[in-house]
Chains A and B, each alone.
Chain A
Amino acid sequence: MNGLESAPGLDEAEVGRIFRAEYGRCVATLIRIFGDIDIAEDAVQEAFTVALRKWPAEGLPPNPGGWITTTARNRAIDRLGREARGRELLWEVATRSPGNDDPGRTEEVGPIQDDRLRLLFTCCNPALSTEAQVALTLRLVGGLTTGEVARAFLVAEPTMAQRLVRAKRKIKAARIPYRVPEDHELPVRLPPVMAVVYLVYNAGLSSPTEPSLCSEAIRLARILESLMPDEPEVAGLLALLLLTESRRSSRTMPDGSLVLLAEQYRTQWDRAMIEEGQAIVRRCLRRNQPGSYQIQAAINAVHADAPTVEATDWPQIVALYDQLLAVAPTPVVALNRAIAVGEVHGPADALALVDELNLDNYHLFHAARADLLRRLDRRSEAEAAYARAAALAPTKAEREFLVLGGRASR
Chain B
Amino acid sequence: MAQYLLSVHSVEGEAAPSPSDEEMQRYMEQIHALEDELKSTESWVFGGALHGPDTATVVRVANDEVLTTDGPFAESREHIGGFYIINAEDLDAALAWASKVTAIVGKPIEVRPFRAVSGA
Contacts and interface: CB of A to CB of B under 8 A. Distances in A.
B92 interface: yes
A133 interface: no
A181 B96 CA distance: 13
Nearest to B88: A175
Contacts of A185: 92
Q: How large is the interface on B (under 10, 10 to 19, 20 to 34, 35 or more residues)?
A: 10 to 19
Interface in A137-183: 173-177, 181
A177 B113 contact: no
Interface string B66-102: 0000000000000000000000011110110000000
B95 A175 contact: no
The B interface is mostly helix, strand or loop, or mixed, namely mixed
Nearest to A182: B92
Interface in B1-25: 2
User: 6 closest Cβ contacts across the A-B interface?
Assistant: A177-B90, A175-B90, A174-B113, A174-B91, A176-B91, A175-B2
Contacts of B112: 174
B21 to A, nearest CB: 36
Nearest to A126: B95
A21 to B, nearest CB: 30
Contacts of A175: 2, 89-91, 113
B90 A127 contact: no
Contact of A173 (B89, B92, B95, B113): B113
Contacts of B91: 125, 127, 174-177
Contacts of A173: 113, 115
Contacts of B92: 125, 176-177, 181, 185
12 contacts: A125-B91, A127-B95, A174-B91, A174-B94, A174-B111, A175-B2, A175-B90, A175-B91, A176-B92, A177-B89, A177-B91, A177-B92
A310 B6 CA distance: 60
A94 to B, nearest CB: 20
Given A174-B91, A175-B91, A181-B92, 8 more contacts: A127-B91, A127-B95, A174-B94, A174-B111, A176-B90, A176-B91, A176-B92, A185-B92
